């Protein structure tokens, strides 16, 4: 093969030159002497490989300073732990006292009867431990009497009944009733009460003064009969109790 100034190929006659007459098929001594680009490509690839290898070494110097940013992350994670205060949960709740003076001195059968009647407050139309309301319902005392006589015997039962009477006397003495409480009654009870007050003339009173009305037993009877008929016995007990408190304050 010829190269350089002599041409690219040698023909069958041994002459060197360039072009199809020297390098074409059947002309070249080797059959086909077209110049291959392998020599030129090898030189370019070697250059490109060295250039790329030098550029990759430069970014490595910037990796070390970035590691300093990991420290604040550990601080924030520890700061997110919530603090619980136990002071808010240490609240002391004391139940209301239900101790009735003198009750513990009764025999156990008497205590049971008395407490059982207190527990019937809803049936008697009262709120829990509302002694004034309970004592205004005749069934409260009757229940204590019947229970204590049956459970304790009449001899011991009499002391239980006496305790019930004393309990009610205290309840009446400490209660201050006002006529403005009529608004708390159901509408049927208010109607019955106001109707009986309006009957003051028929009851022998010059005015609807409670001091006069309550001296006539028909005032209480009329309130009882009206409320039982208009409200039913369950609700009527609260109306009757109100009438009793109204009269108790009038005669106090």
Specify whether 167 is located in the same domain as 225: no
Q: At which of 138, 156, 174 does a domain end?
A: 174
pTM, whole model, 2 decimals? 0.36
**Looking at the structure, do residues 234 and 208 belong to the same domain, yes or no?**
yes
User: What is the number of domains present in the chain?
Assistant: 3
Whether residues 183 and 162 fall in one domain: no
Query: Does residue 200 contact residue 216 with C-beta atoms inside 8 Å?
Result: no
Question: Would 65 be classed as within a structural domain?
Answer: no
Do 136 and 188 share a domain, yes or no?
A: no
Q: In this predicted structure, what is the pLDDT of residue 181?
A: 75
Structure token digits, residue 238? 């609260």
Question: How much is the CA Rg of the chain, to the nearest whole Å?
Answer: 57
Please check whether residues 110 and 155 belong to one and the same domain: yes
Q: Which residues contact 181 (CB under 8 A, 6 or more apart)?
A: 242, 245
What CA–CA distance (Å, rounded) separates 125 from 127?
7
Q: Is residue 223 part of a domain?
A: yes
The pair of structure tokens assigned to 19 is 């072009």
Residue 192 — left, alpha, or beta (φ > 0 → left; ψ -120 to 50 → alpha)? alpha
**Cα–Cα nearest to 183, from 191, 195, 171, 173:** 191
Query: Do residues 196 and 225 touch, judged by C-beta distance below 8 A?
Result: no
Which residues make Cβ contacts (< 8 Å) with residue 191, sequence separation at least 6?
A: 226, 230
Q: Note whether 190 and 129 are same-domain residues.
A: no
What is the spatial distance between Cα 198 and Cα 208, in angstroms, rounded to a whole number? Answer: 7
Residue 38 located in a structural domain = no
In a shared domain, residues 246 and 184: yes
Q: Locate 101 and state its tokens.
A: 């003076």
What secondary structure, in 3-state letters, does 32-74 show?
Answer: CCCCCCHHHHHHHHHHHHHHHHHHHCCHHHHCCHHHHHHHHHH
State which residues form the domain around 23: 1-28
Structural domain includes residue 78: no
| Same domain membership, residue 187 and residue 155 | no
pLDDT of residue 152: 96
Boundary-marking domain end, from 174, 203, 224: 174
Instruction: Let me know if residue 41 belongs to a domain.
Output: no
The pair of three-digit structure tokens given for residue 36, joined into one six-digit string: 């291959």
213 falls within a domain: yes
Q: Is 67 among the domain residues?
A: no
Residues 193, 147 share a domain = no
Q: How far is CA 188 from CA 119, 132, 137, in A?
A: 26, 22, 19
CA 231 vs CA 66, 132, 133, 179, 186: distances in Å: 86, 21, 18, 20, 8
Return per-residue pLDDT of the chain as tens, 252 residues: 555 566 677 777 777 777 777 777 667 766 555 554 444 433 333 343 334 444 444 444 444 444 444 444 444 434 444 443 333 333 333 333 456 888 999 999 999 999 999 999 999 988 888 888 898 899 999 999 999 999 999 999 999 999 999 898 877 766 544 445 788 888 999 999 999 999 999 999 888 888 889 999 999 999 999 999 999 988 898 899 889 888 887 765
* Residues facing residue 11 across a β-bridge: 28
197 and 243: one domain?
yes
The reply to whether 196 and 242 lie within a common domain is: yes
pLDDT at 9: 75
In a domain, 232, yes or no: yes
């Amino acid at each position: 093969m010829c190269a350089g100034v002599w041409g690219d190929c040698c023909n069958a006659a041994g002459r060197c030159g360039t072009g199809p007459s020297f390098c074409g098929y059947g002309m070249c001594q080797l059959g086909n002497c077209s110049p291959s680009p392998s020599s030129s490509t090898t030189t370019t690839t070697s250059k490109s490989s060295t250039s790329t290898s030098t550029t990759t070494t430069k970014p490595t110097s910037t990796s070390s300073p970035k590691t300093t940013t990991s420290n604040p992350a550990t601080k924030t994670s520890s700061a997110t732990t919530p603090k619980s205060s136990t002071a808010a949960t240490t609240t002391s709740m004391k139940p209301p006292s239900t101790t009735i003076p003198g009750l513990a001195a009764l025999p156990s059968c008497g205590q049971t009867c008395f407490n059982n009647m207190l527990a019937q407050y809803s049936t008697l139309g009262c709120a829990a431990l509302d002694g004034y309301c309970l004592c205004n319902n005749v069934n409260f005392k009757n229940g204590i009497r019947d229970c204590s006589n049956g459970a304790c015997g009449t001899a011991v039962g009499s002391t239980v009944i006496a305790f019930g009477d004393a309990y009610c006397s205290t309840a009446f003495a400490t209660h201050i009733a006002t006529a403005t409480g009529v608004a708390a009654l159901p509408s049927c009870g208010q109607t019955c009460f106001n109707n009986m007050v309006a009957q003051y003339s028929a009851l022998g009173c010059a005015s609807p003064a409670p001091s006069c009305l309550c001296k006539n037993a028909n005032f209480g009877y009329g309130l009882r009969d009206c409320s039982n008929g208009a409200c039913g016995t369950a609700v009527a007990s609260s109306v009757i109790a109100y009438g009793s408190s109204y009269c108790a304050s009038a005669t106090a």
